[in-house]
Amino acid sequence: MPYQPPRYPFRPPTDPGARHPVIVFGGGMVRLTAALDLARHGQPVVLLDDDDTVSIGSRAICHAKRTLEIFSRLGLGESLLAKGVTWNTGRVFAGEKQVFAFDLLPEPDHQFPAFINLQQYHLEEMLVQACRATSLVDLRWKSRITDLAQTNAGTTLTVETPDGTYNLHADWLLAADGARSTIRHAMNLPFVGKTFQDRFLIADVTMRAPFPAERWFWFNPPFHPGGSVLLHRQADNVWRIDFQLGWEADPEAEKAPEKVRARVAAMLGPNTEFELEWVSVYTFRCRRLEKFRHGRILFLGDAAHQVSPFGARGGNGGIQDADNLAWKLAAHLRGDAPETLLDSYDAERIPAADENILASTRSTDFITPKNEAAHAYRAAVLALAEHHAFARPLVNSGRLSRPASLAASPLNTPDDAPWNGGLPPGSPAADAPHAKTWLLHHLGHGFTALIFGDTPAEMPDGVTALHLPAHGLAATRYGARAGDVVLIRPDQHIAARWHRHDPEAIAAARRRALCLT
């Protein structure tokens, strides 16, 4: 039984001309994540969606550990683990031979694996359900922004619905409306970068197959000579197969079911039965907006930046955008932070986008060699990698999404003493087993100070203490000794750390992370 997308009811608007503190516009998982995160911070949100359902096709399927930790903070961690396909291992093949395998989470004692694979439509369905349950997210389906005018106090929007158009005023507008962003076009913002001359076919097939839950990548396999192929397992016995087609391929002809079936059959052999669930041919670009914040309009996800799919950096990058933005906007609207805090969204997420663009550009250059020399070097790398460990780090079938480390963020308070390792300010907080659950479960949505050892914990306003043993896995992961303190932001990135307990210093670091100083 193929997936049946839900249809959400359109309700005629009752508030033409109304003013709302936050309006989110978009059609994908990033807009839902942003809305849910704002709601978790107590902030009401209006969410406009031009459709009345979830994503068509599986689209973003690989959700990284950091993304799962963010969704865990939003209350969806367990459901995602239960529904998704957990994987940590990748294998790379050249021709018929395996070149090497890698483990993305070699360390035990983390709640979440390196990745789960789950169709974007399943994730979006869970997010819609969670948004509805908050009663703070006003979901408006079949509501498309067709025009906008920026004012000093925000943006006036023209919203088109089946019942005609109406106006809304947004103090803050979050544009999470994808690579073809209407809002970006309406504002005439340049979206520049690199186009890659290659085409890829996605075939989602339903089958019972003996492949393990791993990421398998082939360079030049016998069943698809001259191209690369990527295989991933998703939920419900659906498998994602990506075939590299080359620039000359005709996208319409390639989508013909007989043609796709022939490619898949060549890969699986004559005895594996399968059904096609979704087929798509895509090209890609790596590009971004110059700035993600434009006054009181903020761009997230593919509307702000686009990467090639190898490395799963599009979806996971977009979720980190939402994670970064939600607490800041909520803090500002609550009156806890000045508007300048929103500038740090640019300061933190632009370097993160550049890191993703760089990594995915390099992967694409390896997967699609541009000239004879590039072909020769790639062949040399693959030939050497089979027998020599040194060449394996050079094989680039996608550098899989890593959390942004925000090392240069203006919100960080730099160390005032040397640390022997651990996690410097800006890093995402590490998880570890704690009190029969997990450390990250104890962090909540505000600022938390991890106190290692038996220090008496007088805390400044707005900071909650979490006591941790001076010895153990958490202490090891944070590089902490008895008496050390680590201050964690609402998005679970580290703001500051000390080898002493000093409530004044904690208060100052919190103020800095909120742009209050």
Partner 1 sequence: MPDLITTANLDDPDGMFEALMEAHRDLAPEASRQLDAKLVLLLANHIGRADIVKQAIALAAK
Measured from the CB of residue 378, what is the shortest distance to partner 1 in angstroms? 9
Closer CB to partner 1, 255 or 362, in the complex: 362
SS3 of residue 111 by DSSP: coil
Exactly one of 376, 407, 408, 435 binds partner 1 (CB under 8 A); that residue is: 376
Largest CA distance in the chain: 70
Stretch in the footprint of partner 1 (CB under 8 A) among 46-54, 218-226, 384-392, 501-509: 384-392
Closest contact distance (angstroms) between CB of 321 and partner 1 is: 30
CA distances (Å), origin 493, targets 337, 340, 429, 510:
18, 19, 5, 12
Query: Site for partner 1 (CB under 8 A): which residue of 372, 414, 436, 517?
Result: 372
From the list 487, 492, 418, the residue with the least C-alpha distance to 457 is: 487
CB of 229 to partner 1, least distance (A): 23
Q: Which CB, 135 or 390, lies closer to partner 1?
A: 390
Closer of 256 and 380 to partner 1 (Cβ): 380
Contact (Cβ atoms closer than 8 angstroms) between residue 94 and residue 168: no
Contact status: 391 vs partner 1 (CB under 8 A) = yes
Q: What's the chain's length in residues?
A: 517
- Kindly state whether residue 384 participates in binding partner 1, applying the rule CB under 8 A: yes
Closest CA to 101 of 89, 114, 110: 89
Query: 173, 159, 162, 145: which is closest to 16 by C-alpha?
Result: 159
Nearer to partner 1, 208 or 388 (CB): 388
Number of amino acids touching partner 1 (CB under 8 A):
12
DSSP 242-290: EEE--TTS-HHHHTSHHHHHHHHHHHH-TT--EEEEEEEEE--EEEEES
Name the one range near partner 1 by CB under 8 A: 150-158, 204-212, 252-260, 386-394: 386-394
306 to 345: interface string for partner 1, x by CB under 8 A? ----------------------------------------
Is the Cβ–Cβ distance between 23 and 173 less than 8 Å? yes
Question: Across 162-263, where does the E strand assignment appear?
Answer: 164-176, 191-195, 200-207, 215-219, 228-233, 238-244
**Tokens read off for 249:** 């391929």
- Of the candidate spans 44-52, 164-172, 379-387, 454-462, the one that interacts with partner 1 by CB under 8 A turns out to be 379-387
Query: If binding is defined by CB under 8 A, does position 394 make contact with partner 1?
Result: yes
Site residues for partner 1 per CB under 8 A? 372-373, 376-377, 379-381, 383-384, 390-391, 394
